[in-house]
């Protein structure tokens, strides 16, 4: 199964190196479980009107080591709730990367992305060609290929679905071998 290309506007550029995603909702809100309350808190330190401007399919851009710190799920859960379809960053913190990929949330390592695109540019992530296209300014840039296990997790929609599919495939293989 091939991944469907992502296509959306750059809803925000996080220029800070080692950006801690907890800042998206504010550390004081990190234990909030109500998605509507989190949505009200989202991006207040960066762009108070963010929730009203983001559209389904929009993307976030980040600098080096995006997601640094303790990986908490509420900040990116609220981003998905608001319509963010994925994050393209110069590089990612390993703990953050693993957590978000396991949630089925696309993360794309793309050195040079911050200079390549401006806020509100429309981008397309072409999984097959491993390129990000800037549909507003023109041009494209290569991104780092995802490890096959991570790609399979994204294709499945997250770790839980991926493991269920693997389990069912293993059962089917065993049944086929038992009958042959």
pLDDT digits (tens, 9 = 90+) for 41-51: 999 999 999 99
What's the pTM value of the predicted model, to 2 decimals?
Answer: 0.91
Fold of 6-147: Aconitase; domain 4 (3.20.19)
Question: What DSSP string runs through 124-169?
Answer: EEETTTTEEEETTT--EEE-PPPPHHHHHHHHHTSHHHHHHHHHHH
> What are the tens digits of pLDDT across the range 77-105?
999 999 999 999 999 999 999 999 999 99
Average pLDDT over residues 68-78: 88
Tokens representing residue 50 in the block: 């963010």
Q: With beta carbons less than 8 A apart as the criterion, state whether 67 and 93 touch.
A: yes
């Amino acid at each position: 199964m091939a991944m469907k290309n992502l296509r959306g506007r750059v809803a925000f550029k996080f220029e800070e190196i080692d950006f801690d995603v907890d800042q998206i909702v504010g550390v004081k809100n990190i234990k909030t479980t109500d998605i509507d309350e989190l949505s009200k808190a989202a991006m207040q330190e960066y762009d108070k009107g963010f929730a009203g401007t983001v559209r389904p399919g929009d993307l976030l851009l980040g600098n080096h080591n995006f997601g640094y710190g303790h990986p908490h799920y509420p900040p990116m859960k609220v981003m998905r709730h608001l319509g963010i379809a994925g994050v393209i960053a110069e590089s990612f913190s390993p703990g953050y990367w693993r957590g978000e990929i396991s949630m089925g949330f696309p993360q794309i390592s793309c050195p040079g992305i911050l200079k390549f695109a401006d806020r509100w540019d429309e981008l397309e992530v072409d999984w097959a060609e491993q390129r990000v296209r800037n549909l507003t300014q023109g041009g494209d840039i290569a991104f780092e290929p995802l490890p096959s296990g991570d790609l399979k997790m994204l294709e499945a929609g997250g770790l839980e679905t991926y493991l269920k599919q693997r389990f069912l495939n293993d059962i089917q293989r065993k049944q086929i071998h038992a009958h042959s």
